[in-house]
Structure 1
């Protein structure tokens, strides 16, 4: 009941039309048709007055919609005594506006999501002592020494005081691999500390730090978005002009002003008012069934017209988690032997890549060795002994101290090597990388077939990594070494618009907000990215970005078909009414049939059959791709 009451308060004209309509029924039953006429006509005049005020306001802003024709249709039905038609037009007018408002409503909670994650507390070390005092991050001054505990967020921009530490900066720069920092290196606010506590010295106030700048960018980008023009308004001027022309000619030729009213009765703009909102709501429902939350009908319209798609790399084109790409052993070790030794030693490491090495060994069903002893040097590596053999695992510089013959691996972009030495001799390396999604290239190709011919990749990674990934997925335009502000500037500079941005993580929140259509990979992405976006992919499936564009194109096509269908049927009725062959009462009923046909056609945007056929086709392709079992 509270939800219904809230809807009535939000749409008072709809509520009034329903209540007045219900009130008229007992009056009619009591044999008081005059009272019903005055009641319905009075409501029509009130609504017409409201629409006149709104029309004047919009015309001052340079906008012209279907308001004039709606007002004239209401007045015309009142003049010819078709008060039931008056009520129907009022209900359709206000109901269509409510549907459109509901379909176009967009959540505006991105700033709240960012602020909830923003660092609130800092652990202050007083005068170089070990005593820790918790203070609000906003009170931290430049030069203050702070303790950042394991897995905590760095509260302000700072420089590292500890000898070394590893930080996860993926939410800021998009780099999926942990970044090693040494004494004096800069540490960004919003980055996450690794497994060991670190000491940092503040170099900026909270308000001037990297994370808070991201918050400000989201606010600026979201506020700069232009409002979406209603699809129906594009056809309002010619439709209104044609209706008035036909009605005026009928009046002049016949000399009867009733002809003019009869024409306007069948020329009510209900098809224009209802076709687009109903189609867009159907498209949004279809998108939701496909794991895509679309925040408004205007988003579907922009998706349908998109010309450029921009991708983030980490977590979007790639899986966002480092995995073992290959094992490069030195004689006499085999790949399995080297991986077994690496995983056995990494059991005693807190480094983030240790889990990837152990998982790779487990995937190969390798049995890990029991150690006699193990020692970890944080951020450098592990020294362990197995059955009298000394195994050293870690960075090249660390391993080279024990094995002078160690040499750097030949790495592709985005790769990181874990080196091994056994009994003072170099044994090889294990290479980790962030793998490209299996369907990334197919998604780019699908978008190209849908008319989105320009593709761009923006990433915080180095250019060799970015170029390598771009070649794999078929993207030709690349911008690397990007901070969030660089991504925003790059998207704003693109000329081929509308622009779709597909991203994930807090660092993508500003650029998702400034793009014409921001699509967030919400399955693993941050809340801030999801709230900044116009559409959120709930499944960890990049191909849904192309599905969203396809749904947008289908929805707009059906909406336009419905609009043209309604206008064509109304035009035919107007011509017939101009000859006096359709009385106003019959015209109102026929107009409702036009509305029904328009709505039924617009409901095709729900697309149940199309999605079923698509799923069956995908299943057939998947079945055909599976190997045939042999005996």
Structure 2
């Protein structure tokens, strides 16, 4: 009976609609707000709830409906904007291959199977315009591949028989055969997709930054509304002020900007795992870099073998025998070189890798082997002098039964854009930069000279613990760039860890905040540029919304802005804030890497000419 009486006394159908729609919105928003407060996040929705209650109390029903529409419609707009911003990230996931064509043992019959059924060693057929399902080795004479989505190379790449093929690349028009060298779960593209899925599902911490503005903004809004009510004596004035104080630009602008920045980074071949990485990266003051595989290409080759107490054959044989049990970047080149020289390994009874030092092994006849850096060998071998190295060279020392057999010198050239990228970082506010490497000092100094680092910026013969200690002493926020298993602890320790993950996921990329999925080191400059512009755009969107809201609040406080008109104007402000935030989608254009590559090419040509 009371309910009937309540609705019978409603002045208009508008009032009925307002109480139903706005009331439901207040309840739902209030529930979400309480959940956020329980989780420790002070949300901005409190102003909207108070404003809606005030409009109902002073019978400004249309204004209340507009606020309710603004909240629910704002969420829809945010979803649309975020969907557009994450389109590039989603594209990587949607392009994930789901099937493969396996060539039967008869060499004639082709079966279509689920990609999860592909095994290492399977003969695969990749048809025209298909996505390469897993990593493999080309067995046909040649193939033309589009690697743009994986490596950033815009032009088709021609591969020849025996060369490696990366999963996720797109075949041209011709069919080719390949041998699978990985399963689907371990493929390069699958690891990238895993990182992308983490990025898409993450919540940008910039929303929490917006929440931090909620407290002062809420207090100011309530004070202005309360003073306006007190001064005018009209409670309608309180509602009119709060209507234009509804802070949707704060709620929408920041996350949309960060999704746009992550999308732009993905188009630059950098996968950002969460929006907070962009915020921290924008403030970087110091940076540490691994040497092998980061500043250098990470593709070392054996330059020469220098015998000492043994022959070159013995040195190479013992080194390859022990290095078979290592995951270090130098292991495969030594083993492959031994095979190319027809050097057969000896039998190994036991082997152990000592992180950042080398490998110890015991042969089947009881000989004790040590292969690694000079300090590691010096523990068991009487004093010896380190060999002289040229720029880009590294020495691996080989000992047997406390006797130095010889030295294997490997050459790992500098990445083309390393020097130019480091110079760009120095010119753009990164004040302290160091090299942290497990290699011996002589090798590190040779590379440091190439990248124009001083001796004080070089920390050599570092263990993983040593590297963490060095980074912790750098001015925060800190950046670490690495690629190997030994870099995982330091990547996790730094404020921002970036892995050079073009060869697939390792412990480094798992513990990093971002992964550069191409071999282009200048992408580091790109992602720093994108992060700074993203934060700037997010702040512009937020400050724009707050400035306009405060201006409208001032007008409403003096009674010159009716509640309904104010609510409509606030809706316009929301739309403009989203448009401002969406500029982050275009940040992949005009990136610094293009200029850095050109400059590096010119320097390389000059060096070659001289």
Q: TM-score, normalised by structure 1?
A: 0.57
Answering whether residue 539 of structure 2 is matched by residue 569 of structure 1, we say no
Answering whether residue 512 of structure 2 is matched by residue 533 of structure 1, we say yes
CA distance in 2, matches of 1:100, 1:503: 34
What is the CA-CA distance between 1:614 and the residue it aligns to?
5.5
Matching residue of 1:266: 244
What is the CA-CA distance between 1:253 and the residue it aligns to?
2.2
User: 1:398-547 alignment to 2 at 5 Å?
Assistant: 410-412=388-390, 414-416=393-395, 431-475=409-453, 476-491=456-471, 493-547=472-526
Three-state SS of the structure 2 residue aligned to 1:53 is helix
Matching residue of 2:31: 50
Matching residue of 2:291: 313
CA distance in 2, matches of 1:462, 1:417: 10
What is the CA-CA distance between 1:408 and the residue it aligns to?
8.9
Answering whether residue 567 of structure 2 is matched by residue 588 of structure 1, we say yes
C-alpha contact (below 8 Å) 1:304/1:553 kept by paired residues: yes
Instruction: Render the CA deviation track for 1:64-106: whole Å, top value 9, x for unaligned.
Output: 45343233233234433233223234326766998999999x9
C-alpha contact (below 8 Å) 2:302/2:334 kept by paired residues: no
Matching residue of 2:224: 246
What is the CA-CA distance between 1:243 and the residue it aligns to?
1.9
Distance 1:594 1:237, change over 3 A: same
C-alpha contact (below 8 Å) 2:206/2:275 kept by paired residues: no
Three-state SS of the structure 2 residue aligned to 1:481 is coil
Three-state SS of the structure 2 residue aligned to 1:305 is coil
Distance 1:543 1:512, change over 3 A: same
Distance 1:547 1:410, change over 3 A: same
Matching residue of 1:304: 282
Q: Which runs of 5+ in 1 are unaligned?
A: 1-30, 107-225, 329-340, 360-367, 381-394, 396-406, 420-427
Three-state SS of the structure 2 residue aligned to 1:536 is strand
User: 1:210-249 alignment to 2 at 5 Å?
Assistant: 230-249=208-227
CA distance in 1, matches of 2:545, 2:50: 18
Matching residue of 2:71: 90
What is the CA-CA distance between 1:625 and the residue it aligns to?
7.8
C-alpha contact (below 8 Å) 1:293/1:538 kept by paired residues: yes
C-alpha contact (below 8 Å) 1:504/1:526 kept by paired residues: no
CA distance in 2, matches of 1:353, 1:52: 59
Matching residue of 1:39: 20
Distance 1:247 1:429, change over 3 A: closer
Three-state SS of the structure 2 residue aligned to 1:576 is helix
Aligned-residue Cα RMSD (Å) equals 4.3
Instruction: Render the CA deviation track for 1:253-308: whole Å, top value 9, x for unaligned.
Output: 22111111111111111111111111111111111110111122211110111111
CA distance in 2, matches of 1:52, 1:536: 35
Matching residue of 1:289: 267
User: 1:548-627 alignment to 2 at 5 Å?
Assistant: 548-608=527-587, 611-612=589-590
Three-state SS of the structure 2 residue aligned to 1:432 is strand
Distance 1:503 1:460, change over 3 A: same
CA distance in 1, matches of 2:466, 2:81: 35
Instruction: Render the CA deviation track for 1:300-333: whole Å, top value 9, x for unaligned.
Output: 11011111111122211111121355899xxxxx
CA distance in 2, matches of 1:524, 1:570: 50
CA distance in 1, matches of 2:562, 2:410: 78
Three-state SS of the structure 2 residue aligned to 1:230 is helix
CA distance in 2, matches of 1:253, 1:408: 85
Distance 1:527 1:84, change over 3 A: farther
Three-state SS of the structure 2 residue aligned to 1:40 is helix
User: 1:118-197 alignment to 2 at 5 Å?
Assistant: none
C-alpha contact (below 8 Å) 2:420/2:599 kept by paired residues: no
User: 1:348-387 alignment to 2 at 5 Å?
Assistant: 352-353=332-333, 376=344, 378=346
Three-state SS of the structure 2 residue aligned to 1:542 is coil
Three-state SS of the structure 2 residue aligned to 1:471 is helix
Q: TM-score, normalised by structure 2?
A: 0.58
What is the CA-CA distance between 1:56 and the residue it aligns to?
4.8
C-alpha contact (below 8 Å) 1:518/1:534 kept by paired residues: yes
What is the CA-CA distance between 1:379 and the residue it aligns to?
10
CA distance in 1, matches of 2:591, 2:496: 27
What is the CA-CA distance between 1:236 and the residue it aligns to?
2.4
Matching residue of 2:309: none
Three-state SS of the structure 2 residue aligned to 1:240 is helix
Q: Which runs of 5+ in 2 are unaligned?
A: 1-11, 90-203, 307-311, 324-331, 349-371, 373-384, 399-405
C-alpha contact (below 8 Å) 1:576/1:582 kept by paired residues: yes
